[in-house]
């Protein structure tokens, strides 16, 4: 679907896309309809463009129902980037596995920092040449710049857990 719109895949399941920089071009996200609202599955990058597209979706695609929760499948910035913003915007919970949430918080803490000597030594010993090490140095600490501030707590989900949303049962 075009950014800012959704496409119904099945009753209660909507597909949307959010733009990505680079060759990937977009990420697929989903909305799951419950009786009295929607669950967002993954969020897109934490940037102004994605925020504006979410605002369009809220205005035009939810049928007047609120967002009830955010489910993040994993901690890549294109999947969790706007989770904190959505949680604050709707006063809802972030559903996520504990390890993915904690890893995300850990990587966000490195935002704006220089690459550590331990990392440079590790990658050098692993065979990185000077060009590859310079790329590592340049990119280190960039992760958090694509993620809105995270909520301080999550609703923990675990492998094989079953959750019911609307008429559908989903397995984590």
Q: What's 109's DSSP letter?
A: T
Q: 126, 148 in Cβ contact below 8 A?
A: no
Tens digits of residue pLDDT in 102-115: 999 999 999 889 99
More confident residue, 111 or 41: 41
Scored b (16 or more CB within 10 A) or e, 68-89 reads bbbbbbebbbbbbbbbbbbbeb
Q: Is residue 153 very low, low, confident or very high in pLDDT (cuts 50, 70, 90)?
A: very high
Q: How far apart are the first and last CA of the chain?
A: 25
Tens digits of residue pLDDT in 50-82: 999 999 999 999 999 999 999 999 999 999 999
Mean per-residue pLDDT, 34-59: 97
pLDDT of residue 112: 86
pLDDT of residue 22: 83
Closest CA to 77 of 142, 23, 139, 143: 143
Asked whether residue 90 carries a pLDDT value surpassing 90, the answer given is: yes
Asked whether residue 149 carries a pLDDT value surpassing 90, the answer given is: yes
Asked whether residue 88 carries a pLDDT value surpassing 90, the answer given is: yes
Whole-model pTM: value is 0.91
**Residues near 110 by Cβ (< 8 Å), separated by ≥ 6?**
140, 141, 143, 144
pLDDT of residue 119: 95
Least confident range of 17-26, 47-56, 75-84, 160-169: 17-26
pLDDT of residue 24: 87
Number of neighbouring beta carbons within 10 Å of residue 130: 8
């Amino acid at each position: 679907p075009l950014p800012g719109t959704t496409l119904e895949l099945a009753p209660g399941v909507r597909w949307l896309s959010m733009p990505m920089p680079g060759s990937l071009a977009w990420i697929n996200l989903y909305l799951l309809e419950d009786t009295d609202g929607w669950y967002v599955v993954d969020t897109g990058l934490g940037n102004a463009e994605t925020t504006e597209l979410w605002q369009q979706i809220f205005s035009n695609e939810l049928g007047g129902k609120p967002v009830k929760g955010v489910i993040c499948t994993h901690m890549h910035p294109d999947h969790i980037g706007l989770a904190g913003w959505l949680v604050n915007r709707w006063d809802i919970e972030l559903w996520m596995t504990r390890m993915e949430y904690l890893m995300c918080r850990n990587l966000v803490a490195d935002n704006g920092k220089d690459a550590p000597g331990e990392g440079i030594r590790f990658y050098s010993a692993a065979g990185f040449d000077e060009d590859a090490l310079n790329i590592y140095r340049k990119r280190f600490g960039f992760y958090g710049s694509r993620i809105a501030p995270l909520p301080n707590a999550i609703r923990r989900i675990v492998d094989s857990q079953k959750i019911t949303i609307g008429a559908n049962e989903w397995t984590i």
